[in-house]
Structure 1
Amino acid sequence: MMMPPMLGVLEAALYADDLEAARGFYGDLLGLTELTAREGRHIFFRCETTVVLVFRPEVTRKPLEPDAVLPVPSHGADGPGHLCFSVPMDALDDWVNRLSHAGVAIESDFFWPNGARSIYVRDPAGNSIEFASPKLWEIPE
């Protein structure tokens, strides 16, 4: 049987108890466009062709109501998650400056053996957020 096609990652989910802090980090600091929010439940942001979903885990873990309009199964995670933003190599210093100026600690800033660079910080919920040059996952020819 042939493998059906896949186009990439459409959305990625993170979990946070404080959605207003998430709004400040992803919307105000990182400049992602807020798409929609439901108070006390979630806030969604656009990042180019991907959507970053931020949910309150204790709310999304609740079982699906029998009369739910959208039949999305319950989900959630314990502990910090991880998300990596693809950033042009020549913009990584600008991100370090922006994040540092906002009081966000840079946990790690290093070059991979293939020459890619990654910068790691924590969002207000403790999720590990990486900013990396696209070369990180380039496949050698």
Structure 2
Amino acid sequence: MPKLNGVIETALYVDDLDRARGFYQGVLGLVPLTSDTRFVAYDIGGRNVLLLFHRGSTLETVRLPGGTIPPHDGNGPVHVGFAIAADDLPAWEERLSAHDIAIEGRTDWPRGGRSIYFRDPDQHLLELLTPGVWTVY
């Protein structure tokens, strides 16, 4: 059986793309790879891509010179976890505080990892995870 080698893209659907850009670029420091009126794509650690789609803008097939992208969309708050170095956790807590972002939860995991949880402007639950949360991280 062929195997999967990783998750390359994660998509979130947002109500206001400009507001979301302000949060992900201004608070989390992400740099856009590409964007248009429907979406913005961000590099995550040089290995993954976070896609922010304006909710409802991808309900029809997108035709590109190389092929097509089928319709997709999503509703409601979802969850994304971002890997961070253990030593960076205090700096992230300070950065979130400086931007008036409330930390909603903290967890010390049995394997030694730690997580903090907070929300983006569309109420998606974001998590910063240090090594030791999962056996694979």
TM-score (norm 2): 0.90
The alignment status of 1:30 with 2:13, answered yes or no, reads: no
Secondary structure of the structure 1 residue equivalent to 2:121? coil
What are the ranges of 5 or more consecutive residues in structure 1 without an aligned counterpart?
none
Pairing of 1:82-101 with structure 2 (within 5 A): 82-101=79-98
For 2:2 and 2:30, the matched residues in 1 are separated by 31
The alignment's C-alpha RMSD in Å is 1.4
Aligned residue pairs total 133
Q: Distance in 2 between matches of 1:97 and 1:47?
A: 21
The residue matched to 1:32 in structure 2 has which SS? coil
Higher-helix-fraction structure: 1
Matches within 5 A, 1:15-94: 15-39=13-37, 41-48=38-45, 49-60=47-58, 62-64=59-61, 68-69=63-64, 70-94=67-91
Aligned residue for 1:9, secondary structure, equals coil
Native 8 Å contact 1:32 1:47 kept in 2: yes
Q: Which runs of 4+ in 1 moved over 3 A?
A: none
Distance 1:35 1:122 in 2: 23
Q: 1:130 aligns with which of 127, 131, 134?
A: 127
SS in 2 for 1:95: helix
Q: Of Structure 1 and Structure 2, which has the larger fraction of its residues in strand?
A: 2
Q: Considering only CA atoms, is the larger Rg found in Structure 1 or Structure 2?
A: 1
Structure 2 letter corresponding to 1:58: G
- CA shift, 1:45, in A, is 0.6
Q: Take 2:16 and 2:84, find their aligned partners in 1: how far apart are those partners?
A: 26
Q: What are the Cα deviations for residues 74-122 of structure 1, in whole angstroms up to 9, with x where unaligned?
A: 1111101111000111111110110111111101122012221000000
Percent of residue pairs identical? 41
Is residue 107–residue 116 contact of structure 2 (8 Å, CA) maintained in 1?
Answer: yes
